[in-house]
Amino acid sequence: MINRQLLHPESIVVVGGSNNTQKPGGAVVRNLISGNYSGTLRIVNPKEDEVQGIKVFHSVNEIPPTDLAILVIAAKFCPEAVETLARDKGVKAFIILSAGFGEETHEGAVLEQKILDTCEQYGAALIGPNCIGLMNSWHHSVFTKPIPKLNPKGADFVSGSGATAVFILESAVTKGLQFNSVWSIGNGKQIGIESVLEYMDENFDAERDSHVKLLYIENISDPDKLLLHASSLIRKGCRIAAIKAGSSESGSRAASSHTGAIASSDSAVEALFRKAGIVRCFSREELTTVGCIFTLPRLTGRNCAIVTHAGGPGVMLTDALSKGGLKVPAINGPLADELKSQLFAGSSTANPIDILATGTPEHLGIAIDYCENKFENIDAIMVIFGTPGLVKLYEAYDVLHQKILECKKPIFPILPSVNTAGPEVAEFLSRGHVNFSDEVTLATALTQVMRTPQPAQSEIEKLGVDVPRIREIIDGINENGYIAPKLVNQLLECAGIPTVPEFVSNKKDEVLHFAEQCGYPVVAKVVGPVHKSDVGGVTLDIKSAEHLALEFDRMMQIPDATAVMVQKMIKGTELFIGAKYEPRFGHVVLCGLGGIFVEVLKDVSSGLAPLSFDEAYSMIRSLRSYKIIKGTRGQKGLNEQKYAEIIVRLSVLLRFATEIKEMDINPLLADENSVTAVDARILVEK
């Protein structure tokens, strides 16, 4: 519940406010005063008569009715204070900075629940406990520093960790990134990150509100809610980047299939962010760099010009951009020669455009003008300009300031001399600009932005999948575990996923009869053991009945073998599709190269079912091995359209069969014409 009293309180009481600004109770009062809070500020402290120039009340029972209460007292005293303030003083919003609640002990969790129950009873909003507070242009109810420059068009930042929020703010301030609001939700007992996004979405005003949202997430308690409101905000024109901490595999997971070995909560996070259109970041520097990128005009193409007076950084930036799929195209011809004639001898216009350490602010402006107005194959301009000790940086940065205002193409300022040119960089930032002091960090962040797809459509593409028959098969399964190959094939058939002809039996004559009918060569696979290859349970290219009979006898001696499967031998490049059910998230679908490469290379991409064709293509094209699928070095590409279609069909099957907890199709054999499932396993738990 987010209300007016939380965001724009006409009166605030700090319970536990003090004169000691080295402690939270004094620091939050200091920040409210220095932040020019214009409402009525009250302090409760039983041991003081005046705090930082404000007359003090000795008990919460003494204060007049108040909108917002900030609690900075021991956890054990908080439930009673909240009860009194909500019941008797009409307080409709609480920010509890105190720690010692559910994050520490069971007893603390009980106290936390009492506070929540009281807030729910009296219709009050609750931020925390165990947080650094809330900051917006109306009130700075935080006890920490730095206090960033606030701007209605700055970023909205929501963090699940107070300390991390401070570190991220430190990183942002040095880059010139401005903020509209900062939310530290702490334990998020009532208002979590999903709730903040919900409020921002449902109350979004494109003219008034910030279009940049940055998130630091430690727990996704409601993935559906996060997906709904994040994707909705992005469709309304917002841009969202997030760190999800704590998403690595914890310990060794018991894995009974290829999918189980590589799927993890991290895959679920990756899939959720992809579906929502959230740019995923992995560090504070990356998050704040992406935030700075969001403040610039959108990059609509992939061709970058680099204007620099230092060769090395230009080369490193070129390498980093190229590695991320962006381009630094060569610039040549009459226009390049024309530009070169206006620069000092020895300058280069090949791209990077090196104006030399002796290049003047005027040269910088000329190079930018050519990139903006004359070089048509350029979509963005990267400007690297530090202090060579030969020019007046104030003049150079003034030129850069003017060009940023004039140019339609985005200009990315890379001003690395934050120590030797601190005042000059600070003045540049004070004009509302951002600075990317490291060129490789910028390229890495820009790559993440460009790779992030738009939010997926919400409608399910059923593609004629036989849902009633799927439910009939699933409902008819009475035991948990891996289901029989016959049922696997039936489910794949219902989904419209092509399979290779196969037959399963524990009788040799039946296996030989099927092979004779379908024609040699065939493949034999043991039925029973999970990893067939590991136990010698797969034999390819069997060309005679004699050979098949020998393999049948050998495989039936393998431990846990129950039968032998024989299939028509087909050829192609091995692909993989798998899925694993993650609690709260649903089915995470994975794709990549197949065979042993799934576990060796772990080059897989993830998506959250159900999937659209756009999502499936995005998954395929984000693979490092995509060049193999597309075709390289004269080899024909694989049928990408069929591969994407199978991914979508599988996601529909999973959407209507949530009892499937794990499955993989490995391999699918693909060529330029078709993609066919050769081997599949499905684990069902009811």
- Which CATH number does the domain housing residue 517 bear? 3.30.1490.20
Q: How many CB atoms lie within 10 A of CB 164?
A: 17
C-alpha to C-alpha distance for 18 and 368, rounded to whole angstroms:
54
* N-term to C-term CA, the chain: 36
Given a cut of 70, is residue 446 above it in pLDDT? yes
Is 107:74 a contact under the CB 8 Å cutoff?
A: no
Query: Which pLDDT score, from 0 to 100, does residue 532 have?
Result: 87
Token pair of 378, please?
């350029």
Q: Which residues contact 187 (CB under 8 A, 6 or more apart)?
A: 101, 102, 103, 112, 128, 129, 130, 131
Q: Sort strands 239-244 and 179-184 into parallel, antiparallel or unpaired.
A: unpaired
Q: What is the pLDDT of residues 393-412, one digit of tens each?
A: 899 999 999 999 999 999 99
Whether 299 is covered by a domain: the verdict is no
237 and 128 in a single domain? The answer is: no
Query: Which pLDDT score, from 0 to 100, does residue 419 have?
Result: 83
Give, in order, the Cα–Cα distances in Å from 377 to each of 74, 446, 684.
Answer: 62, 19, 54
Whether 77 is covered by a domain: the verdict is yes
Given a cut of 90, is residue 635 above it in pLDDT? no
Query: Which pLDDT score, from 0 to 100, does residue 457 have?
Result: 85
Given a cut of 90, is residue 115 above it in pLDDT? yes
Q: How many structural domains compose the chain?
A: 5
Sign of the dihedral through C-alpha 90, 93, 98, 102? positive
Dihedral pair phi/psi, residue 391, rounded to 5°: -135, 160
C-alpha to C-alpha distance for 372 and 577, rounded to whole angstroms:
45
Of 519, 549, 569, the domain-final residue:
569
Whether 493 is covered by a domain: the verdict is no
Beta strands per DSSP E along 520-652 = 522-527, 538-542, 563-568, 573-582, 586-593, 604-608
Give, in order, the Cα–Cα distances in Å from 364 to each of 268, 340, 539.
Answer: 46, 12, 67
C-alpha to C-alpha distance for 555 and 254, rounded to whole angstroms:
26
What does the buried/exposed string (b/e) look like for 56-73 if buried means 16 or more CB atoms within 10 Å of the residue's CB? Answer: bbeebeebeebbbbbbbb
Mean pLDDT of 617-643: 90
281 and 320 in a single domain? The answer is: no
Given a cut of 60, is residue 607 above it in pLDDT? yes
514 and 577 in a single domain? The answer is: no
Mean pLDDT of 250-272: 59
Q: What is the pLDDT of residues 51-85, one digit of tens each?
A: 999 999 999 999 999 999 999 999 999 999 999 99
Mean pLDDT of 208-218: 96
- Which CATH number does the domain housing residue 653 bear? 3.30.470.20
Given a cut of 90, is residue 424 above it in pLDDT? yes
Query: Which pLDDT score, from 0 to 100, does residue 42 have?
Result: 98
Q: What is the pLDDT of residues 340-393, one digit of tens each?
A: 999 999 999 999 999 999 999 999 999 999 999 999 999 999 999 988 766 788
Query: Which pLDDT score, from 0 to 100, does residue 589 have?
Result: 96
Whether 223 is covered by a domain: the verdict is yes
Q: Which helix (H) or strand (E) holds 619?
A: helix 613-621
282 and 315 in a single domain? The answer is: no
SS3 161: coil
- Which CATH number does the domain housing residue 376 bear? 3.40.50.261
Whether the model clears a pTM of 0.85, i.e. scores above it, the answer is: yes
Given a cut of 60, is residue 249 above it in pLDDT? no
Question: To the nearest whole percent, how much of the chain has pLDDT over 70?
Answer: 97
230 and 370 in a single domain? The answer is: no
156 and 289 in a single domain? The answer is: yes
597 and 525 in a single domain? The answer is: no
Mean pLDDT of 96-122: 94
β partners of residue 428: none
What does the buried/exposed string (b/e) look like for 664-679 if buried means 16 or more CB atoms within 10 Å of the residue's CB? Answer: bbbbbbbbeeebbbbb
621 and 540 in a single domain? The answer is: no
SS3 564: strand
CA angle in degrees (0–180, nearest 5) for 114-115-119: 120
Query: Which pLDDT score, from 0 to 100, does residue 533 have?
Result: 84
CA angle in degrees (0–180, nearest 5) for 440-443-447: 145
Whether 327 is covered by a domain: the verdict is yes
Whether 33 is covered by a domain: the verdict is yes
Q: Which helix (H) or strand (E) holds 413?
A: strand 411-414
- Which CATH number does the domain housing residue 57 bear? 3.40.50.720
Half-sphere exposure of 600 (CA within 13 A, CB side): 5
SS3 sequence of 84-132 = HHHHHCCCCEEEECCCCCCCCCHHHHHHHHHHHHHHHHHCCEEECCCCC
Range(s) of the domain holding residue 360: 304-433
Confidence category of residue 265, pLDDT binned at 50, 70, 90: confident
190 and 242 in a single domain? The answer is: yes
275 and 315 in a single domain? The answer is: no
Mean pLDDT of the chain: 93
Of 433, 463, 480, the domain-final residue:
433
Query: Which pLDDT score, from 0 to 100, does residue 392 have?
Result: 82
Whether 463 is covered by a domain: the verdict is no
Given a cut of 70, is residue 248 above it in pLDDT? no
Query: Which pLDDT score, from 0 to 100, does residue 20 have?
Result: 96
CA angle in degrees (0–180, nearest 5) for 231-232-236: 115
Whether 101 is covered by a domain: the verdict is yes
Closest CA to 335 of 372, 375, 365: 375
Q: What is the pLDDT of residues 279-312, one digit of tens each?
A: 999 999 999 999 999 999 999 999 999 999 998 9
332 and 425 in a single domain? The answer is: yes
Of 101, 136, 171, the domain-final residue:
136
Rg (CA), the chain: 31
Q: What is the pLDDT of residues 309-341, one digit of tens each?
A: 998 999 999 999 999 999 999 999 999 999 999
C-alpha to C-alpha distance for 159 and 362, rounded to whole angstroms:
43
327 and 198 in a single domain? The answer is: no
